[in-house]
Structure 1
Amino acid sequence: MKLHTVTTAAAAALVLSLTAVGCGSDDGDDTSSASVVGTGSGDEKITIGIKFDQPGIGLKTPDGKYTGFDVDVATYVAKQLGHEPGDIVWKEAKSADRETLLQRGDVDFIAASYSITPEREKKVDFAGPYLLAHQDVLIRADDDTIKKPEDLNNKKLCSVTGSTSAQNVKDKIAPKAQLQEYGGYSECLTGLENKVIDALTTDDSILAGYAAQPEFEGKFKLGGFKLSNENYGIGVEKGSELKAQINTALQKMVKDGSWDAAVEKNFGPADYKNEPAPKIGVVVN
């Protein structure tokens, strides 16, 4: 694997300075603009973008709570920036909207299975990475016919509308794979459970999050194929001083064991073989 370094403005040596990085409403509404980073008094809001529909990563539950690894990471970071959990305004950050949310100042930062790529780095800055994920496949726990990527040939592979993951597998690894397009991952999982499809592919962290849900526990397993490297970073506005502050917070999260605890809490039931915590500023290509 190749490595490249993300410039961090000497993040490792910085202490957490609580600098104002924007302005906006602090009324707690999901549609509010990003607010001033707090001073530890707990009376100012911080707006954070997450996924609302990815169990184990970022999920808004029916009772209005927010769960997942990205949520735990973001909550820890916000705490280091001087904000209690009650200060956080969670805002949905759909994949296609993430750069726009940051550029408009609608959020202070985004933690939403947000892979660091050269194209995205032209538009926003990234703290981290804080998780190294890989494209993988999810199959039924009792399936012994898919042991390597090439075994996906002649198998029905779930493709979520708008995703390129399954097409990449067909183009590069298993040209005879039969792509089945569904509207969302939940539909793919139902098809997988009912043997309508044979495999689902996307980031292993996302797959592990779904497989770890109580209703699916023990029914599925990850292939462990590591088809790509996905370096999850925390997105901030281009040039923001928050980048260095968040990097310092992430280093502390790893050092004090909170990172490992969050991995076990959110992915453990799926027997997810996660990579060790990445080195801040180093992206694995």
Structure 2
Amino acid sequence: MSSKLVTLREAISLIPDGAKLAISGNMDMSPMALIREIVRAQKRQLYLVCVGAAAVNADLLIGAGAVSTVEFSQISMGEYGFALNFRRHCEIGSLSSLEHACPTLTAAIQAGAMGIPFIPVRGLLGTDYMKIRPDFQAITNPYPYEDDKQIAIVPAIQPDVAIFHGYKADTLGNVVAHPLQNNRLLAQASQLAIASVEEIVTPEELRKESGTWIPSMYLSAIVHAPRGAAPTSCPGRYEIDGEQIAIYMEAAASQAGFQAYLQQHIYEAQEEAIR
């Protein structure tokens, strides 16, 4: 565990420019401390994979100029409105985007974890996804059922690095994360996986925690980052910081406003993360 417990800066040093970076979370359990440190490190040309419906986690990285390509199923700020940086950069053509249906994105990560090059997904044939995603293909179904002569396949996703926020890690390097996110699958599919956590506890304490268990063998680095999901929520610990989200939304309405936000709330701010 001592080799895996690192500072924020040490964790982000594992992410090179141009990496295929996968993130989990939305308005709950986004790895915001890690994401803010990525912005501070001025990483560039990241290929961002949003596992699940993304929100401020993706929008912040895009607005900061860290992302050249994003692969996603949905990016929005939920009840707070549109993801304004994402929308603006798509509209001006500075961001390449690859859209998924939720099942195709999950299936692609599953294929990556299994080490296979593609995976079949039902429900795509006859939809516009087959038009906007030329890498989604239809093949002859070798095991047809009734009239099911063809089936769609999607390519596997194997991120270079995955980041997520969990509840707790133990001194052996295992992590417990939110049960409704696919963080264990994501860690399995990725070359490196970095987790920020609210607490470091003993193995005995971690075994009592409910949630998704992610074994140490799938993790490359762990950062002790209390409130590391804020301003998104950490269910059972703290709620969404609506005041901070409102400040973010006002700033993201313009490129100039967002640059001022980055200066005040990211570059000049300090994270309370410890070893």
TM-score range, shorter chain: under 0.3
Task: Point out which structure has higher relative CO (alpha carbons under 8 A, 6+ apart).
Answer: 1
